[in-house]
């Protein structure tokens, strides 16, 4: 008996980041072949090893088939109809932010990510990526004093080729999956982070990804290396304009944590989700994986997924080091005709490894929201433990929620715990809050925030507030 129309109104969200920046761009021709890959590599003045890496990945990709096991419904992607490199035209060499096209700075300003010296965020260093290239990275000198490297991956290829050659593709090999192979062949830009031994990164690092053009894909690549006893908290945000075509976003993120190192990787994903009829929106097909290589190392993924027409990703942890720890905290909100198939893989390889999974899926409208996760205990993972909790919340009666937990254990001396629940915002709960003077929309948003609390508690402060606001915004109706 819940007033369906009211609920529908409430979950209708306005997308505030849907504008397009009118800027002259340099695009290469559509299509994908060896020449295109050579051209991308040449534009980025890459060393030979990287071109080889790309070409090998391309060969593998050609032999691979696009996976369809997730049963996500979408029109076949024509990979020859995508532009693989698109960059705003600007001066060849930029020595300071003053030389960045004001239109670009304005764009990031509008997105709430001011980059200029006067306005930049005080406690977070930002790498701003626009289509295929990184525009600017703030606080570089300050970070360099601590030995922390934070720059675009293109720069890292030039200035820290040894680290790139040593680590690129070691966590997510090019042959890992179809989209990882594609990314390895054509990746454009992304962030690179290196935290030296014993250093606690003095501020949060953040990348902001902006897709601006409608016909080019975004294939960013991020690599984070935390040396022994170091730690870093990294945040990632994403938005895109509203186009009635679908744009492919196939990123690869690799994290490496050595002995006693810890990496916290938080995402707030708000790519354009398409309209109410499901026209347009980003296909967010991403491979994110962290390798806990060292003893007592820790990798923690937190994600708040609210955007994209389709989200298909499983930020995972390979727990190799003894007593290493993997965590996955996720909130995925789908509305209208959005689809999300997300979760994690916790692969316990070393002994006494520990993993925690907390997933909260909220489905509204006609959306489909699935948790899919694998917990695997290898033969050497004695005394290892996993705890998983997967909760789904349904709003309205047209949305669907699924949970697919896969458990594989080859080690009897290990523990796996799984809890799951599904709930619906009930009319009685809404009436109770309303009868205490709380507006309908606020009541829904209070309950959704309450449902997500366990995950929000894991997010860095500024991000938690942003995530809360974002969910409220997504659930904001045309009323008020």
Q: How far is the CB of 433 from other proteins (least distance, A)?
A: 7
CB proximity list for 122: less than 8 A, separation 6 or greater? none
Contact region for other proteins (CB under 8 A) — 204-212, 333-341, 377-385, 446-454? Answer: 446-454
Q: Which lies closer to other proteins via its Cβ, residue 417 or residue 439?
A: 439
CA-based diameter of the chain, in Å?
68
Indicate the residue among 23 and 446 with the shorter CB distance to other proteins.
446
CB nearer to other proteins: pick between 325 and 425: 425
- Which helix (H) or strand (E) segment holds residue 165: the answer is helix 161-167
Binder among 28, 438, 472, 473 for other proteins (CB under 8 A)? 438
Mask for 376-415, x = binds other proteins (CB under 8 A): ----------------------------------------
Out of 9, 176, 442, 462, the only residue in the binding site for other proteins (CB under 8 A) is 442
Q: Does 437 bind other proteins (CB under 8 A)?
A: yes
- Binding of residue 478 to other proteins (CB under 8 A): no
> Does position 449 bind other proteins by CB under 8 A?
yes
User: Which residue lies nearer to other proteins by CB, 49 or 432?
Assistant: 432
Nearer to other proteins, 171 or 390 (CB): 390
Tell me whether residue 412 or residue 437 sits nearer to other proteins (CB atom). 437
Q: Does residue 1 touch other proteins according to CB under 8 A? A: yes
Least CB distance from residue 443 to other proteins, whole Å? 8
The residue (of 408 and 453) whose beta carbon lies closer to other proteins is 453
In whole angstroms, give the CA distance from residue 301 to residue 290. Answer: 9
Nearer to other proteins, 53 or 440 (CB): 440
Q: Cβ(129)–Cβ(220) under 8 Å?
A: yes
Phi, psi for 427 (deg, rounded to 5): -60, -35
Structure tokens given for 258: 């050595």
What is the smallest separation between the CB atom of 404 and other proteins, expressed in angstroms?
24
Residue identified by tokens 């205990």 is 377
Residues in the chain: 480
Buried b (16+ CB within 10 A) or exposed e, 388-409: bbbbbbbbbeebebbbebeeeb
User: Per CB under 8 A, does 125 bind other proteins?
Assistant: no
Q: Does 3 bind other proteins (CB under 8 A)?
A: yes
Out of 181, 224, 235, 447, point to the residue binding other proteins (CB under 8 A): 447
Please tell me whether residue 42 binds other proteins under the rule CB under 8 A. Answer: no
Q: State the Cα–Cα distance between residues 204 and 448, nearest whole angstrom.
A: 27
- What DSSP designation does 28 have? P
The residue range among 190-198, 251-259, 369-377, 420-428 that interacts with other proteins, by the rule CB under 8 A, is: 420-428
> Which residue matches tokens 């860095």?
460
Specify the stretch interacting with other proteins by CB under 8 A; choose among 224-232, 282-290, 443-451, 461-469.
443-451
Two tokens, residue 406: 């896969």
392, 359 in Cβ contact below 8 A? no
Task: Give the whole-angstrom CA distance, residue 8 versus residue 399.
Answer: 11
Q: What φ, ψ does residue 17 adopt, rounded to 5°? A: -115, 20
- The CA angle 381-386-389, to the nearest 5 degrees, is 160
For residue 472, state whether it binds other proteins (rule: CB under 8 A): no
Distance CA(7)–CA(380), nearest Å, equals 50
- CB 339 within 8 Å of CB 72: yes
The three-state secondary structure class of 467 is: helix
Q: Which of 34, 66, 244, 439 binds other proteins (CB under 8 A)?
A: 439
Nearer to other proteins, 176 or 454 (CB): 454
In the complex, the residues that contact other proteins under the rule CB under 8 A are 1, 3, 423, 426-429, 431-440, 442, 446-447, 449-453
């Amino acid at each position: 008996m819940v007033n369906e129309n009211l609920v529908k109104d409430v979950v209708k969200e306005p997308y505030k980041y849907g504008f397009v920046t009118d800027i002259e761009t340099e695009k290469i021709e559509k299509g994908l072949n060896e020449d295109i890959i050579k051209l991308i590599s040449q534009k980025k003045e890459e060393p030979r090893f990287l071109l080889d890496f790309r070409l090998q990945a391309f060969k593998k990709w050609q032999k691979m088939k696009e996976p369809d096991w997730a049963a996500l419904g979408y029109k076949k992607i024509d990979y020859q109809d995508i532009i693989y490199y698109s960059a705003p035209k600007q001066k060849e060499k930029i020595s300071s932010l003053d030389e960045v096209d004001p239109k670009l700075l304005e764009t990031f300003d509008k997105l709430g990510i001011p980059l200029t010296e006067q306005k930049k965020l005080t406690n977070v260093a930002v790498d701003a990526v626009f289509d295929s290239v990184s525009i600017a990275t703030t606080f570089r000198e300050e970070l360099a004093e601590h030995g922390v490297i934070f720059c675009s991956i293109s720069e890292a290829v030039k200035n820290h080729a040894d680290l790139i050659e040593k680590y690129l593709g070691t966590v997510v090999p090019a042959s890992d999956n179809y989209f990882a192979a594609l990314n390895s062949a054509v990746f454009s830009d992304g962030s690179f982070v290196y935290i030296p031994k014993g250093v606690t990164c003095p501020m949060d690092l953040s990348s902001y990804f902006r897709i601006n053009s409608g016909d080019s894909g975004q294939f960013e690549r991020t690599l984070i290396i935390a040396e022994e006893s170091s730690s870093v908290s990294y945040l990632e945000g994403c938005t895109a304009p509203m186009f009635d075509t679908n744009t492919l976003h196939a990123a690869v993120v690799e994290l490496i944590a050595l002995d006693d190192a810890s990496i916290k990787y938080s995402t707030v994903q708000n790519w354009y989700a398409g309209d109410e009829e499901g026209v347009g929106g980003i296909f967010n097909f991403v491979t994110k994986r962290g390798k806990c290589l060292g003893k007592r190392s820790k990798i923690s993924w937190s994600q708040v997924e609210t955007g994209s027409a389709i989200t298909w990703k499983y930020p995972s942890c390979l727990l190799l080091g003894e007593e290493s720890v993997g965590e996955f905290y996720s909130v995925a909100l789908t509305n209208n005709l959005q689809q999300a198939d997300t979760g994690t893989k916790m692969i316990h390889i070393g002994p006494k490894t520990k993993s925690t999974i907390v997933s909260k899926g909220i489905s509204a409208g006609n959306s489909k929201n699935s948790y899919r996760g694998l917990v695997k205990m290898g033969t050497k993972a004695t005394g290892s433990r996993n705890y998983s909790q997967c909760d789904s919340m349904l709003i309205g009666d047209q949305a669907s929620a699924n949970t697919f937990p896969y458990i594989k254990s080859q080690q009897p001396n290990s523990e796996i715990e799984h809890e799951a629940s599904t709930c619906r915002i009930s009319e009685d709960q809404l009436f109770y809050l309303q009868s205490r003077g709380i507006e309908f929309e606020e009541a829904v948003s209070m309950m959704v925030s309450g449902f997500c609390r366990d995950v929000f508690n894991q997010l860095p402060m500024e991000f938690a507030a942003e995530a809360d606001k974002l969910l409220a915004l997504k659930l904001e109706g045309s009323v008020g």
